[in-house]
Structure 1
Amino acid sequence: MTDKPPTPARAGRLGPALRRAFRPVAEARGFARAMLWSGAVLTGLFVLMALFAPWLSPYRFDQYRANGTDFPQLAPPSALHLLGTNVQSTDVLAQVIWGARTELMVVALALVFALTIGVPLGLIAGYFGGIFDRIMVLVMDAMFAIPSLLLALVIAFLLGSSITSGIVVAACAITIVYVPQYFRVLRNHVTSVREEPYVEAARAIGAGPFTILGKYIFFNVIQTIPVLATLNAADAILTLTGLGFLGYGVQPSQGAEWGYDVSRAVGDAASGIWWTTLFPGLAIVLLVTGLTLLGEGLNETLNPVLRQRAATRLKMEDLE
């Protein structure tokens, strides 16, 4: 007789927890559902493009020759170069595909950094209050007063001489822009729930402040963060594009970046060379649109005030 290994209780609770988490998505209806899934498809296409860039791209992002022959400069779309070449004789299609990897890598790093800094600060300031809360609110409000692109430019300029990786520099510059948003959202939400009866009950049974924050408050105030992070990702793409356009983003020797590609191709449009600006610009528009639709769809799906549920038709015998 053989004994089967016991199934952990935690694994048994994982299935129902996941079903509860994804239930609002499954119940989404109407325009919210259309926004959610169209945004997810658009964003998913760029994620796949970024993950499989080495296999999808015909060339490296900085490759300007193959089989001992240099690529033609500013060549129009053809069978050899589907989207043409730019002034550096690099393939535009390769720039677009590898640029998706750069954009998403920078945005993912920036969001991780911003969440790591902004969420704990918002939780602590909102729960404890006092002088720390006042100082943090003053600092975050001062950062909000500065235009986001200008703030990112200053940080990128200051870090450019000390950090060699352009991806890390761009991610840190974008992080500074979004930390105040996560701080304010969490801080305001924690301030409103810290006197709720379930928090008072936790204090009455002897739970410490950080136990209350981690076990009773965190999961009740974190629901808005995924929506905010998705919308911030769309805005971060535009911020990164602005940095690249001005020459403070990822350097061309470190990776392809759509904003830098557009800045190099601005003069080409006046000469009738349209492909060097059209395709990187179209990639920016599509990715930002996908992330925006995904964020708005999540907002209308997860927000109980905006969420629409499927109508259930009741029969007369159900009421008896």
Structure 2
Amino acid sequence: MSAPAGTPGTPEAGDRTDRAEGAAPATPRALARRRRREALRRFAREYARNRAGLFGLAALLAIGALALTAPLLVDQADLTITGAPGAAYQPPSVEYPLGTDNFGRSILDLVIWGSRVSLTVGFLATAVSVVLGTLVGMTAGHFGASGGAAGRIVSSALMRVTDWFLVLPTLVLAVALAAVLPRGTGTIIIAIGLTVWPATARLVRAQTLAVEARPYVERARALGGGHAHVMAWHVLPNVMPVVLAQTTLLVATSIIAESTLAFLGVGDPTVVSWGGVLEAARNAGAISSGIWWYMVPPGLAIALVALSFTLCGRALESVINPRLRG
């Protein structure tokens, strides 16, 4: 009577033993990569269920592609006052789908080229704001939770500075900084970045306090982990999802702020941006003259980008916070 398949000593059992012994055990790094891939897949599935977020993402990809290909679509010579090919104030037509301005420049070309400056300022100003707000909020939260008496003094000082910036009118402060510093795109980026960071700092501080109370952070301190280790390896990874969602919302705020500063005349007059086009339309009297095609396209572009980033930010928040789903 033959032994049942799979019992010790049979070929099937030997094959399985060889396979088990020949398979290399998964390393911690491989397991970590696998968990990251699974987390990304779950994130993509949850985000795909949000139709508004998908619309915002598609609109942002289209606008980003338009901004990147603007040098291929628009001749820079046509953007100058002396090189404008058309007549002034032509209404929308086949040749000029969005009409022309008071210098004969195509409004469509101005809107396409202006997307480069507006998006650049929005992203860079947001980066300045997010980095500054994350550093201040995480430092205040960490030392306020585990820094002792000296840490609480540092945390209190940082939050009082944050509160001072928070109560100041953002637009007034940005206009003041833009008026004092040399005029240019870099000045606009700094002015916006230094005025919209307090909300991020407050949000990151609250999230840091929640993370600091978790058992694995206490275990890391008990094993000798210093402030830098705890903040870099335990606090920062857990606050990054919130920071990412806040970033998408701040980009829309930064783009609107850049357009407002340019509309008020404190932007860089040598570059073409959506706010600059609106400011030029106001100076040319397009509002009183009823030349709507000079004002509506850049205004709609600003509204579309702000709406798209807001939809993406809300979708990210719903994915990160399960209580917001549904």
Q: Same fold (TM over 0.5)?
A: yes
The Cα shift of 1:270 comes to: 2.4
How far apart, in 1, do the equivalents of 2:167 and 2:317 lie?
26
Q: 1:74 aligns with which of 53, 73, 89?
A: 89
Shift of 1:70: 4.7
Task: Return the match for 1:21 from 40, 49, 61.
Answer: 40
How far residue 110 of structure 1 moved from its aligned partner, in angstroms, is 0.8
Q: Secondary structure at the residue paired with 2:194?
A: helix
- What residue is the counterpart of 1:145 in the other structure? 167
Q: Distance in 2 between matches of 1:29 and 1:236?
A: 26
Question: Does 2:269 correspond to 1:247?
Answer: no
**What does residue 317 of structure 2 align with?**
299
Q: Which residue of 1 aligns with 2:296?
A: 278
Q: Is the 8 A contact 1:110 1:171 kept in 2?
A: yes
- Correspondence for 1:232: 250
CA contact (8 A) 2:56 2:311 kept: yes
Whole-angstrom CA distance in 2 between matches of 1:283 and 1:29: 25
- Classify the secondary structure of the residue corresponding to 1:78: coil
Instruction: Name the CA shift for 1:201/1:120 in 2 (closer, same or farther; >3 Å).
Output: same
- What is the TM-score when the length of structure 1 is the normalising length? 0.84
Matched, 1:36 2:58: no
Q: What displacement does 1:282 show?
A: 1.3
Q: 1:14 to 1:256 in 2, by over 3 A?
A: farther
Say if 1:61 and 1:256, in contact at 8 Å, map to a contact too. no
Structure 1 residue 63 displacement after superposition: 2.8
- Give the length in aligned residue pairs: 291
User: Against the structure 1 CA distance between its residues 261 and 29, is the aligned structure 2 distance closer, same or farther, given a 3 Å change threshold?
Assistant: closer
* Aligned equivalent of 1:258: 274
Q: Tell me the CA shift for residue 28 of structure 1.
A: 4.2
1:122 CA drift (Å): 1.6
Residues 65 and 71, structure 1, Cα contact 8 Å, conserved in 2 = no
Verify: 1:110 aligned to 2:125, yes or no: yes
Report which of the two has the higher share of helix. 2
* Within-5 A mapping of 1:50-65: 50-60=67-77, 62-64=79-81
Distance 1:18 1:249, change over 3 A: farther
1:39 and 1:294 in contact (8 A); partners too = yes
What do residues 58-94 of structure 1 show as CA deviations (whole Å, max 9, x unaligned)? 555633455xx85312222233322221113322111
Corresponding residue of 2:15: none
Conserved 8 A contact 1:230-1:292 = yes
**Structure 2 match to 1:158:** 180
Q: Supply the distance in 2 between the matched residues of 1:249 and 1:9 (Cα, whole angstroms).
A: 52
- Residues in 1 aligned to 2:174 and 2:310: alpha-carbon distance in whole angstroms: 21
2: CA distance, partners of 1:91 / 1:171? 27
Give the superposition deviation at 1:182: 1.8
Would you say the 8 A contact 2:48–2:54 is kept in 1?
no
Deviates more, 1:279-288 or 1:77-86: 77-86
Large movers: runs of 4+ above 6 Å: none
- Partner AA of 2:213 in structure 1: E
2:230 match:
212
CA distance in structure 2 between the aligned counterparts of 1:208 and 1:74, rounded to whole angstroms: 66
The counterpart of 1:221, out of the listed 230, 239, 246, is: 239
Larger Rg: 2
Cα deviation, residue 156, structure 1: 1.1
Counterpart code for 1:140: T
Specify whether residues 28 and 70 from structure 1 end up closer, same or farther in structure 2 by C-alpha distance, changes over 3 A only.
Answer: closer
Instruction: Give the distance between the partners of 1:63 and 1:264, measured in 2 at CA.
Output: 13
C-alpha deviation, 1:168, in angstroms: 0.9
CA distance in 2 between counterparts of 1:71 and 1:16 reads 58
TM-superposed CA distance for 1:45, in Å, is 1.3
Residue of structure 1 equivalent to 2:7: none
Runs of at least 5 residues in structure 1 that lack an aligned partner in the other structure:
1-7, 309-320
- Give the 3 Å change call, closer, same or farther, for CA 265–12 of structure 1 in structure 2: same
CA 1:182/1:60 → structure 2, altered by over 3 Å: closer, same or farther? farther
Is 1:94 matched with 2:99? no
Letter in 2 for 1:157: A
2:208 corresponding residue in structure 1: 190
Q: What is residue 314 of structure 1 aligned with on the other side? A: none
> In 2, Cα distance between the equivalents of 1:194 and 1:213?
9
SS at match of 1:305: helix
Q: What runs of 5+ residues in structure 2 fail to find an aligned partner?
A: 1-26, 145-151
Distance 1:168 1:9 in 2: 44
Q: Aligned with 2:257: secondary structure?
A: helix
Amino acid in the other structure paired with 2:281: A
Provide the C-alpha distance between the structure 1 equivalents of 2:77 and 2:250, rounded to a whole number of angstroms. Answer: 29
TM-score (norm 2): 0.82
- 2:128, 2:190 within 8 Å by CA — same for their partners in 1? yes
Q: 8 Å contact 2:85–2:105 — kept in the other structure?
A: no
